[in-house]
Amino acid sequence: MERVKWVVKHTVLAKFKEGVEKGEIEKLIKDYADLRNHIEQIKSFEWGTDVSIENLNQGFTHVFETTFQTLEDRSAYVAHPAHVKFGTQLFTTLEKVVVIDYVPRPEP
């Protein structure tokens, strides 16, 4: 039987401040994705916008998910100067943010 390699998912839900221009959000997304070129611990990066029909998003419109191989890699990312600099830029545009890190588990 093949052994499963666990990963760590760093998930960010973003609610941008009213008045933040679409172009500024697009640049932030590109800058977020560009962190892959500066932080070797990043295994993958994905993002998207809310498409739910349940209307339960509480104003959160964007989700960003960064994948790491280990908790140590995630910790190195959080402390990395490129991430700290980007986070400072991103947070100035956000009204609210939720950050959840988790290790995906198989079905019980």
| Structural domain containing residue 19 | 8-102
Out of 10, 62, 80, 83, pick the active-site residue: 80
Report the CATH number that the domain containing residue 81 is assigned in CATH: 3.30.70.100
Residue 81 lies in a domain: yes
Task: Supply the pLDDT for residue 108.
Answer: 76
pLDDT tens string 57-89: 999 999 999 999 999 999 999 999 999 999 999
The tokens describing 108, both together, are 């019980």
Task: Supply the pLDDT for residue 107.
Answer: 78
Closest-CA residue to 9 (of 63, 79, 90, 82): 63
The model's pTM is 0.90
Mean pLDDT, the chain, rounded, equals 94
Residue 26 lies in a domain: yes
Residue 108 lies in a domain: no
pLDDT tens string 12-31: 999 999 999 999 999 999 99
For residue 102, indicate whether it is catalytic: no
Query: What is the domain count for the chain?
Result: 1
Residue 70 lies in a domain: yes
For residue 77, indicate whether it is catalytic: yes
Residue 2 lies in a domain: no
Residue 91 lies in a domain: yes
Residue 97 lies in a domain: yes
Whether the per-residue pLDDT at 49 is higher than 50: the answer is yes
Closest-CA residue to 28 (of 47, 51, 10): 47
